[in-house]
Amino acid sequence: MKIHHLRNATFVIESGANFILVDPMLSGKGKLPPFAYFRHKLKRNPIVSLPDNASQILNKVTQCLITHSQ
């Protein structure tokens, strides 16, 4: 088993021929609205870019698992 961490809660679990994408947040950096409106300084999401090798890993995905939603 191998785990590819893409950003925050987004990662891919590689197990044999299976590549499971967990909690995908694949938008470009700063393309989505902020989550908190009152407690913190507003930052658009995602706050970091995907790693350079993300497309190579994402092209192998066979399943997707979503554990939570905003």
Count of structural domains, the chain:
1
- Checking DSSP bridges between strand 18-22 and strand 2-7, what pairing results, if any? unpaired
Whether residue 19 is contained in a domain is answered as yes
In a domain, 25, yes or no: yes
Any domain includes 34: yes
58 in a structural domain: yes
- pLDDT digits over 36-58, tens only? 767 677 888 899 999 999 999 99
* Domain contains 61: yes
Contact 54, 21 (CB under 8 A): no
- How high is the pLDDT of residue 43? 84
CA dist., res. 61 & res. 33, Å (int): 26
Is residue 70 included in any domain, yes or no?
A: no
R_g over Cα of the chain:
13
How deeply is 21 buried, as exposed, middle or buried, from its count of CB atoms within 10 A (0-12, 13-18, 19+)? buried
Q: Domain for residue 51, yes or no? A: yes
Which pTM value belongs to this model?
Answer: 0.84
State the residue range of the domain holding 51: 2-65
Residue 18 lies in a domain: yes
